Structure 1
């Protein structure tokens, strides 16, 4: 069979080949673009598919006007690009129609003059980039919003608005007007990322109006949304991820007496709040019928550092959470940090028992559970055993280890054994417990299969007695454990780290026990060979 010459391959195959060249890992972007540009100049068959791949994803305005004839593009005294576009729109359109993805940031806009902006805004065609699918605009200066408006076309399916990849938009009248325009202009949006900083009813209503115009949303990151937008989102069957902010301590109730039921199978829900109270109120006003992963964050910048929360807020929050989500939940992450800045880490009033945690027991599909933001020092070994039996699929478990609590724990080494015994898939454990010597010949230690997947154990400020015995027990329970991690006081705090000497001794013995285990394994292999 004769080989087909590459020039006779169908356009779809050529597009695939050129795309592979563009996305090849380990090669500089400039070199890949030069290669594709050279292919475009090779022959007529290569030209169109190569140019399509070359111009599909563009960063900045500069590449868009770089192909224009000499004299059309020049530079101002401060080295900004300027242009005198007239009859060159036909050439411009030949390249602009190929662009599907455009990323613009502050640096890109700083290198063009007002003349370029005016020329691009006054394009004679219906749209500057008629086939644009994805737009990333990382700048919040109102003087460039006319250009942004020109880029908003009905074909857009993904848009990100911000200052840079991590900072948020500041609310303003011009942004509110732009967002009101966004929903109607781009009704096919599937991914929308517009998280703003600060609370503004006007801005919230604007982004909510935009969201209500989007019926194909799959991924949404937004600031505070009103109740009408939440009702709309709850009805979207394609929604997969949702990131919201809650305003102060008030969450609007739905416009009707019915509670919004999110029917879509959310892979991820992320909620940032300014207090536990606002989270509780939110969970009472919505229902997530099928959500896989939940991330809860408390915005510490908006909280009183002296009174971050009342201990009585936590039980209500956990009850509301358990009523809001279904048992299919797999992951619960909580980003919160209160304890180490004040004396509440020593206050037993902040300690909770089994009854407070009990509402979480219904989530039997959990693979990740973050309880390190709670002081659970009143939970003993038997209560802990009843808890972990409800979560047999756990892979990542964090228990009272996140806020440097030093209230003495009721949980002992026996509780850790219960955890290993009932949660056979664990790969990470962060736990606050009282490490002590136990009888290795008694249950549950004697009947627990060791976990060989865990190599590191985080213990926070866990108290310890008889470090050598604890090291031996850990080695039997977790044979591949190489070291133990604990907290250190941060900043200018000169307090002595609790129990640091005992855990240092554990580390030393673990190293010796691990080396001995490796040596015994090698000797065993030699015996088998002989």
Structure 2
């Protein structure tokens, strides 16, 4: 055996590479793949003494306790024979002390598993299966046992806290959210966090964590307002120095706006907001706060969605796009805000594209579909400024064919969706010829109603078929 293989750290790196090679093509969900992964580690552990400890570190680094519950005589038929699948444990009483010992060598507390780094378990069983060596990932549900995690998750790197869905939520009180905040503040080495709402003390803690790179905050409660005042005891947070991805899933944007107004994210690359209602005043506050969060040199992806329509015709237009001009490295911008119209015309589009030379995917959903001021001239003028543009989805005035500029060929654009009112496309054949000559990778134009573009797409197909025929004939001569 080579001397390098006698070094545990070297062996561990090799074994990690072997296991990642097994898991990567299929992901961690496939039971057969997981079995192969664990069998490989077990085989390595029994090969020789030098291999034993590194292989065991990986083999017992992650345990899914719920998958082992089938060892309990009472639970086995519920898990595998009842057909209840994922919700088999609903209404089942927790394990007794005697039943815990049916877990082969697993005692009531997992202190005999010093290699344990990752544990997946419902909090219903946390008092029976808990380890102070918990390190990498913990999947939990929010209930009365959540407090018991606090003392043993200081070295967690990945924490995913799951609440019941809104229909079944029975504990969405301030006390439950306070327990979540306790968990967050107890974690000192988090790399990723996916969690319901938590209080400002927890935000302040996270703002100082140099290890944190991803933060997803979601809210499944039916009450759109958090149970604490948004402005109480809040001051500017320390910079979230290494966060690259930040997302919110909320009923109301007020919570996220407050966070953004008091925060800096100098390394942020991706921002996502999915909110039920986003009225115009809150949208303007959100976009302004985002533009002031010190991410102008780093932010590459912005996605903002509102789910429901509460359109106010008296106050319905927002100049949203200029708020994003400062993000000169922007590659993706998706805005789908249905509570107001996004003020977008040829001039605004041209100015925006001139500040986003790296734009790859631009999608704007606008309520003002029936009288969009964007024209074909604006489209063809703007895309020249973004040579890497792959996808463009915008509303357009399809009744005016006013391409009075010489379109240049754009060889990168692959997806073109022009959302139009239900009017006939003007000069369909002429437009198809321009698309064919200037956008060679576009096979068809998409629309909010596909029949809008049927005639144009028919001409594009005919032109491509004719060109293919000519090319084939020339190659045969």
Output the TM-score relative to the length of structure 2: 0.78
Aligned to 1:314: 283
- Give the secondary-structure state (helix, strand or coil) at the position aligned to 1:518: helix
Q: Is the 2:358–2:388 Cα contact (8 Å) retained in structure 1?
A: yes
Distance in 1 (CA, whole Å) between partners of 2:43 and 2:52 is: 9
Aligned to 1:326: 295
Q: CA deviation at 1:237?
A: 1.5
Q: Is the 2:420–2:448 Cα contact (8 Å) retained in structure 1?
A: yes
Q: Is the 1:242–1:270 Cα contact (8 Å) retained in structure 2?
A: yes
Q: Is the 1:80–1:111 Cα contact (8 Å) retained in structure 2?
A: no
Distance in 1 (CA, whole Å) between partners of 2:66 and 2:402 is: 71
Distance in 1 (CA, whole Å) between partners of 2:70 and 2:253 is: 51
Map 1:91-110 → 2, pairs under 5 A: none
- Give the secondary-structure state (helix, strand or coil) at the position aligned to 1:483: coil
Q: Is the 2:317–2:341 Cα contact (8 Å) retained in structure 1?
A: yes
Distance in 2 (CA, whole Å) between partners of 1:476 and 1:225 is: 54
Most deviating of 455-464 and 38-47: 38-47
Distance in 2 (CA, whole Å) between partners of 1:215 and 1:188 is: 6
Most deviating of 105-114 and 217-226: 105-114
**Counterpart check, 1:116 vs 2:99:** yes
Q: Is the 2:387–2:412 Cα contact (8 Å) retained in structure 1?
A: no
Aligned match of 2:317 in 349, 352, 364? 352
Distance in 2 (CA, whole Å) between partners of 1:378 and 1:19 is: 51
Aligned match of 1:211 in 168, 179, 184? 184
Aligned match of 2:120 in 133, 136, 139? 136
Output the TM-score relative to the length of structure 1: 0.71
What CA RMSD, in Å, does the superposition of the two structures yield over aligned residues? 4.0
Distance in 1 (CA, whole Å) between partners of 2:20 and 2:186 is: 35
**Counterpart check, 1:432 vs 2:395:** yes
Q: Is the 1:377–1:410 Cα contact (8 Å) retained in structure 2?
A: no
Q: Which has the greater radius of gyration?
A: 1
Map 1:18-97 → 2, pairs under 5 A: 20=18, 23-24=21-22, 28-29=32-33, 30=35, 57-60=62-65, 75=73, 79=77
Q: CA deviation at 1:132?
A: 0.8
CA-to-aligned-CA distance 1:278-300 (integer Å, 9 cap, x gap): 443333233333311101011x3
Q: CA deviation at 1:522?
A: 4.2
Q: Is the 2:100–2:108 Cα contact (8 Å) retained in structure 1?
A: no
Q: CA deviation at 1:334?
A: 1.7
Distance in 1 (CA, whole Å) between partners of 2:75 and 2:187 is: 44
Distance in 1 (CA, whole Å) between partners of 2:284 and 2:397 is: 25
Q: Is the 1:224–1:245 Cα contact (8 Å) retained in structure 2?
A: yes
Count of aligned residue pairs for this structure pair: 444
Aligned match of 2:270 in 293, 302, 326? 293
Q: Is the 1:293–1:331 Cα contact (8 Å) retained in structure 2?
A: yes
Aligned to 1:390: 355
Map 1:360-379 → 2, pairs under 5 A: 360-373=324-337, 376=341, 378-379=343-344
* Change over 3 Å in CA distance of 1:270–1:127 after alignment to 2: same
- Give the secondary-structure state (helix, strand or coil) at the position aligned to 1:192: strand
Q: CA deviation at 1:59?
A: 4.1
- Give the secondary-structure state (helix, strand or coil) at the position aligned to 1:419: helix
Map 1:441-456 → 2, pairs under 5 A: 442-443=404-405, 446=406, 448-456=407-415
Aligned to 2:463: 513
* Change over 3 Å in CA distance of 1:194–1:49 after alignment to 2: closer
CA-to-aligned-CA distance 1:365-405 (integer Å, 9 cap, x gap): 1111112325546532122211221211110100126xx75
Aligned match of 1:415 in 378, 394, 406? 378
Q: Is the 2:65–2:119 Cα contact (8 Å) retained in structure 1?
A: no
Aligned to 1:491: none
**Counterpart check, 1:200 vs 2:200:** no
* Change over 3 Å in CA distance of 1:509–1:337 after alignment to 2: farther
Q: CA deviation at 1:65?
A: 9.7
Aligned to 1:274: 251
Aligned to 1:253: 231
Q: CA deviation at 1:126?
A: 7.2
Q: CA deviation at 1:236?
A: 1.2
Distance in 1 (CA, whole Å) between partners of 2:307 and 2:471 is: 44
- Give the secondary-structure state (helix, strand or coil) at the position aligned to 1:127: helix
Distance in 1 (CA, whole Å) between partners of 2:315 and 2:413 is: 30
Uncovered stretches (5+) of structure 1, i.e. residues with no partner? 67-72, 82-104, 163-168, 301-307, 489-499
- Give the secondary-structure state (helix, strand or coil) at the position aligned to 1:358: helix
Q: CA deviation at 1:322?
A: 2.2
* Change over 3 Å in CA distance of 1:217–1:523 after alignment to 2: same
Uncovered stretches (5+) of structure 2, i.e. residues with no partner? 80-85
Q: Is the 2:159–2:194 Cα contact (8 Å) retained in structure 1?
A: yes
CA-to-aligned-CA distance 1:21-71 (integer Å, 9 cap, x gap): 7843589434665666667667777777666665555544676997xxxxx
Aligned match of 1:466 in 403, 427, 430? 427
- Give the secondary-structure state (helix, strand or coil) at the position aligned to 1:193: strand
Distance in 2 (CA, whole Å) between partners of 1:78 and 1:372 is: 47
